[in-house]
Chain A
Amino acid sequence: MTTPLVHMKNISIEFPGVKALDQANFTLKKGTVHALIGANGAGKSTLMKVLSGAHSHFEGTIHINGEAATIHTPKDAASYGVQTVHQEVDTALVPYLSVGENMMIHEMEKKPFVRWKEIHRKAAQLLQEMDIDISTKRLVSDLTLAEKQMVLIAKAVSIKCSILILDEPTAPLSHAETSKLFSMIHQLKKNGTGIIFISHRMPEIFNICDELTVMKNGTDVAAHLIKETNPKQVIEEMLGAPLEDQFPSRTTLEDAPIVLDVKELHDQHKLNNIHLHVKKGEILGIAGLVGAGKTELCKALFGASEKKSGTVQLHGQTIHIKSPHHAVRAGIALVPEERRKEGILTEETVGWNVTAASLRSFTRPFSFLHRSKERKAADGIVKRLGVKTPSLEAKVKHLSGGNQQKIAIGKWLLAEADVYLFDEPTKGVDVGAKKDIFSLIAELAARGKAVIYASSELSEIAGIADRVYVLYDGSIAREMTAPMTEEELLYHSTGGQS
């Protein structure tokens, strides 16, 4: 057997309070595509960050081409030919520069003068070699997501790339774009590049990869050749101990009235013919992997995304939700996924945040604020949710993720909606706060609210939802009723056919 391209042995890394990696091993052979899979938080990304030099305080050894490698900074990693294409392609490109400039930034750094012809000639040659048909003169801001990704891959390969890490590369791509990406991967493979492919999508992994490593709880639990395994086995290996005790017990009425009824919902990009309904007192799960369209669905229902078609009925009456303002007036609340960007005001105080959506109920004549009433209500919410804050005057940015999320939710408890949309409410939230959030959601349902719970944490969906729609690539792939298992959800979320 030849020496492996990458051999990571007994890698451990600790962050304050968490052991993110615990004696993890990983081996990549030359000219192969190696899938790295695991549930969220299993340590895939952390392991790859160690390899790409983003974390310097790890224990364990890395060998590249059989020689011990010291990787402490991204620069070290680059010198060994490790390149990463992250899922968020926009963070790695300068939108108002051309494709050529973006690809040649490292070259332009070296010389005091820019030789434009040279830049574009070289970039064009690289793109041609990779069989990518994009003009180097185009602005990056005009490219589609898929094109941006191709540019990034071409750029990564151009530098010196023997190890290419692709982090969830297919999540934002359509089918046609995905097959284009796969032909690029085949090309690279032929040139001897080792490719690490991080993905949740079983069909793709079994299509493109040669080997796979399964991670769980910060360590590698299994490694297989693709041809010697099957999706069912891999999913079993991925799953952790069941988390059922985290979830409150649920009782639901069979014949509760339908609160929200959605038919033929489309949006411009992702959503395709969505039919769904949610009943009074029901927790409806929207399961799906990253990029399946959960966020788009929540935003569309909340009137926060543009241009859509379809009918929405609330309490049997057709409503037209043109903006979040309309949605809130109609009694729909959204706890958005991007908490810091969309859910809370980080620079403002806890008190201001909690009452932001319901200020109308704290006014006196002439819109003067009834401050003592507002304070009392905010204090009530903070106590009820157990938000750990020094005072109502503390700025929200100083609180932990879990407490920030409680505030993002608490805002809507004061506003008293009928339909609550939760988009990935447990993202970046610690275990203790997670449990509080689950009980809160169950409590809302018990009070007769209709709850829509969208998440890619399938174990959580399986634990809390009464009924689930599984989203795959913008469409509802299947409807399921509790009890359901995480395996079933994962099977359908990864595009498995029933």
Chain B
Amino acid sequence: MSERQVSAPVQQIKKQRPSFHLFDFFYQYGTILTIVVLIVVFAAANPAFLQSGNIINILRSISIVTIIAVGLTISLAVNGFDLSVGSVATLSNAIVISMFVWFSQNPLIAILSALAASLIVGLLNAWMIVKMKIPDMLMTLAMMFIIQGLAQTYTKGATISENMVLPDGTFSTGTIPAFFSKIGQVPYIILIMAAIVLFAHVFMTYTKHGRLMYIIGGNKEAARLSGIHVNKYKIAAYLLSALFAAIGGIVLASRVMTAEINAGTPYLMDGVAAAFIGFSVMGAGKPNAFGTFIGAVLIGILQNGLVMMSVPYYAMDIVKGSVLALALALTYYKQRG
């Protein structure tokens, strides 16, 4: 065997200059290119678009979506799909605000209770998926309804805010501390988002655990037969997903200082869009935190720019949906080919 020429096929073929494929170029840089084009178009239409105040505005507007979408991305990495992130954000929002307003608790207790409740949801999701073998999307869909209902039942269908009227006719006396309101303001909200994107990116790309999650997402059976604890990592993925959804809910609470019914729901669909657009960013072809951030940026820019161009809010979803369809076309056309 040793006399056979098996040396260095790697280097030989690498030397060939790769021919330029238009589609591959779009696949890799399409999302970034779209963002650049959008910036140019919006800036031309309204120079105020490029002012630093507006850019910070865009980043702030995408923070909560990005935080929630990063959690969703991790569930996608193990080939799962956590549809309950929106309602978990709602729940965590409601718990944090209620802790302040109803129970006059300190921020630590308030935040910890929101995180704990959300992690229990994540654990339940994971347990039902791993042990009861319910398909991921169906289980988390059911969980979405349950948590949505649970949050509404908890708030008795009302918006929680300072000085709200309680069922017994009195006014609530708890206050939301000033410190807590800072979380949802610039620069902290943007810093939190950046930290989470960075953490998830490093975790998924540079640690053993992240790699194993991708391997499980790639082929669960092959992963299992490679001796990988598939269930353990699926549970971890759903816990992380719930954790980030909870953080999203807390930031949201700080931003609006109230707990409205289904406040977190809209973030699910935007998060899904951001995560899927993220698949194609830089040709990754798989869920990744950085791509998800870029996806959220794309959506944020679109939204912001269209508002500046006086496109009515009710037409916004048409554009958002079209962009998502385009990004998905890039991802899936490539996979088939």
Contacts and interface: CB of A to CB of B under 8 A. Distances in A.
A391 B10 contact: yes
A344 B215 CA distance: 10
Contacts of B207: 363, 366-369
Interface size class of A (residues with CB under 8 A): 35 or more
Contact of A328 (B212, B214, B227, B286): B227
A443 interface: yes
Which residue among A342, A382, A411, A415 has the maximum number of chain B CB atoms within 10 Å of its CB? A342
Q: Is the interface of A mostly helix, strand, loop or mixed?
A: helix
B10 A325 contact: no
Given A382-B10, A386-B4, A436-B1, A352 B215 contact: yes
B156 interface: no
B10 A379 contact: yes
A356 B4 contact: no
Given A304-B224, A325-B228, A352 B211 contact: yes
A382 B9 CA distance: 9
A356 B14 contact: no
A359 B218 contact: no
B13 A383 contact: no
A354 to B, nearest CB: 11
A356 B225 contact: no
Contact of A369 (B211, B219, B285): B211
Nearest to A415: B227
Chain B contact residues: over half helix, strand or loop, or mixed?
Answer: helix
A75 interface: no
A362 to B, nearest CB: 8
Contacts of A360: 208
A436 B4 CA distance: 10
A96 B35 CA distance: 45
A343 B9 contact: no
Contacts of B8: 383
A138 to B, nearest CB: 22
Nearest to A388: B9
Nearest to B215: A356
B141 interface: no
Nearest to B207: A367
A386 B215 CA distance: 24
Given A342-B221, A344-B222, A359 B227 contact: no
Contacts of A348: 214-215, 218
Contacts of A341: 219, 221-222
A334 B223 CA distance: 12
A96 B228 CA distance: 32
Contact of A390 (B1, B7, B10, B228): B10
Nearest to B230: A325
Contacts of A390: 10, 13-14
Interface string B135-167: 000000000000000000000000000000000
A14 B45 CA distance: 63
A203 to B, nearest CB: 34
A342 B222 contact: yes
Contacts of A302: 225
Contacts of A346: 218-219
Nearest to B218: A345
Contact of B7 (A327, A356, A383): A383
Nearest to A360: B208
Most buried by A among B9, B209, B225: B225
B6 interface: yes
B1 A324 contact: no
A408 to B, nearest CB: 9
A357 B226 contact: yes
Interface string A322-366: 011101110000101000011111111000100011011011001
Contacts of A388: 9
B229 interface: yes
Contacts of B229: 323, 325
A391 B218 CA distance: 20
B225 A329 contact: no
A334 B219 contact: no
A369 B7 CA distance: 27
Which 7 A-B pairs give the minimum distances between C-beta atoms?
A328-B227, A386-B6, A345-B218, A390-B13, A357-B226, A367-B208, A439-B1
Interface of B: 1, 4, 6-10, 13-14, 206-209, 211-212, 214-215, 218-219, 221-229, 285-286
20 contacts: A302-B225, A324-B224, A324-B225, A324-B227, A334-B225, A341-B221, A343-B222, A347-B218, A352-B214, A356-B222, A356-B223, A357-B228, A363-B208, A366-B207, A386-B4, A390-B13, A390-B14, A415-B227, A436-B1, A439-B1
Interface of A: 302, 304, 323-325, 327-329, 334, 336, 341-348, 352, 356-357, 359-360, 362-363, 366-369, 371, 379, 382-392, 411, 415, 436, 439-440, 443
